[in-house]
Structure 1
Amino acid sequence: METYEKIRLARELNQWSQEEMAEKLEMSPSGYARIERGEVRLNIERLEQIAQILNVDISDLIQKDINSITIQIKDSDNNQNIGNVNVFHENLSEIEKLKLIIQHKDELLEQKTQELNMIKEMFELLKQQIKNQS
């Protein structure tokens, strides 16, 4: 998965629009859209800024996934191709997607836990109010 695809996926997992992301980066929506289409070569400062906003490690954004490697074996004169060996690795892009999904799920669970605690506190206050009125 390319860097721009990871950025798009992380933004979508945060349920932000491209416009919201552009605002967070203090840039135009069309400029941000070019990032997600892979039309812009990002400098390290911009990548750090994006990683910080998305709450991901910059290395997760720039790490290239290796899905297969082709090794060409040639004779000693480097003229004749003796054979090819394909080495396949796990589909790392799927793993990265799942990691982002799990991270987002954990954040949502924490938010729901905080909301539930607030509701419990409100319930206790209401119970006290009713008790005091009786």
Structure 2
Amino acid sequence: MTRITPFASPLLLGFDSMEKTLERIAKASDGYPPYNIERLRGSDDAPDRLRITLAVAGFSEEELDVSVEENQLVIRGRQLEQAERDYLYRGIAARQFQRMFVLADGMHVLGAALRNGLLSVDLIRPEPERMVKKINISVSQ
């Protein structure tokens, strides 16, 4: 049986990589760590920015990794093993995570900051130039 997807339309050329990305995102959504995405309004000469904030309490800067792989922002956390402790109760999970965000073409990561257990990653999408390209039509006889 053949699976038909919305990207199988002959009018959507070159979108097969987007379909694969959407499948990966659907598989990787476990909800940890929680996050916010907010729009930061720019001034007249600066474009709007986006800020992704993840709750990463208990992680140090060395235990976090923020990278851009192809068109994806990947944030990973892995807590290092500490010396043996004798817990009477352990309610704070020490688990690793990987959170991915698909970036649209032209999106750039400005930087990341860790403060009070919150990791903030700032993104910007510069306004693209409006460009019209004239295609010449050749006539053959």
Please, what TM-score do these two structures have when normalized by structure 1? Answer: 0.23
Please, what TM-score do these two structures have when normalized by structure 2? Answer: 0.22
Larger radius of gyration: 1
Q: Higher strand fraction: Structure 1 or Structure 2?
A: 2
